[in-house]
Amino acid sequence: MRLFAAMRVDRWKKVVGGSGGSQIAEAALVLPLAFLILLAIYWFGRAFNVYATINHAAREGARVAVTSTCGTCGNSAAGATAVANAVTTTLQASGVDPSKITTWPSTTPTFCGGGSCNNPSNNGNITICTQVQLAANSNSGQGPPVCGVSVTFEYPYSFSLPYPGSGVALQLKADVQMSAEN
């Protein structure tokens, strides 16, 4: 009878002192946190991708604005509609919706002379400023001011994690300045 009682005590020690159930409990605590971290990495990567895309689109618009439209018939600047078309085409090629572009409420730039800012009729949320004194030379104070073009706009980006009230909305800004070609 003593042997039987000793075996029951040993069995209870194994059941109570075992670690088989603790692994499941630890996994139940760690896996949701690991999932949230992976999801946050994905959303941050996507936000960075959209930010790079809108800056690339603004650079393409600025490039169109500073290049001449006709090499043999004079150096006439491209119109605001052509610049906006370059921006929207680049955004569409990358799978970003250009209809979500909003105007960036930026400060008035310093003009070199005869410059102006306008918004094209096909996308009035893109601000294109010509004859703008670029920031590179104005900060260093060396040499004469360099004039160029500025293309600015904002793009809304929102994401949420899988728990209530976790929505985050960001306004990604694109502000590109480019010097005019001679």
Residue pLDDT, tens place only, 92-127: 998 888 888 888 876 677 778 777 777 776 667 888
CB atoms within 10 A of CB 75: 12
pLDDT-above-70 percentage for the chain: 73
pLDDT score of 170: 84
pLDDT score of 143: 66
- Residue 9: pLDDT band (50, 70, 90) is low
Q: Does residue 6 sit within a domain?
A: no
Q: Does residue 9 sit within a domain?
A: no
DSSP classification of residue 110: P
Per the structure, how many domains does the chain have? 1
- Residue 4: pLDDT band (50, 70, 90) is low
Q: Does residue 153 sit within a domain?
A: yes
Q: Does residue 17 sit within a domain?
A: no
Q: Is the Cα dihedral 126, 132, 137, 138 positive or negative?
A: negative
Average pLDDT over residues 27-46: 88
Q: Does residue 18 sit within a domain?
A: no
| Coil, strand or helix at 15 | helix
Residue pLDDT, tens place only, 63-94: 988 886 666 666 667 778 888 888 999 999 98
Q: Does residue 83 sit within a domain?
A: yes
Closest CA relative to residue 176, chosen from 53, 62, 52: 62
pTM (whole model) above 0.85: no
Rounded CA separation 48/31 (Å): 26
Q: Does residue 14 sit within a domain?
A: no
Partners of residue 148 on adjacent β-strands = 132, 179
Domain that holds residue 79: 24-179
Q: Does residue 2 sit within a domain?
A: no
